[in-house]
Structure 1
């Protein structure tokens, strides 16, 4: 087995970055909080314009 050069090692490790979490604004006009996409708002319980869970 051959030793990996510093350039190859660093090139491989350059992909280890952390992805920034994606957030969108809640569609409920009264709420407007930041929430993950395709998920119910944890604050108001709305998803795609309808109430899917009780408000927190």
Structure 2
């Protein structure tokens, strides 16, 4: 299997993401989510970020 085939296989699988343990107190750390997120090909444009 090459990198392209591996990437295509990953498109149909759910992934984990880091989530805060307590969103009101981020100092409590982070944990891995359940397998609930799909891979997205969305990449925001740098112009969409505010520099203020």
TM-score by shorter chain over 0.5: no
Richer in strand (by share): 2
- Structure with the higher helix share, 1 or 2: 2
Normalising by structure 1, report the TM-score: 0.23
Structure scoring higher RCO (CA < 8 A, sep ≥ 6) equals 2
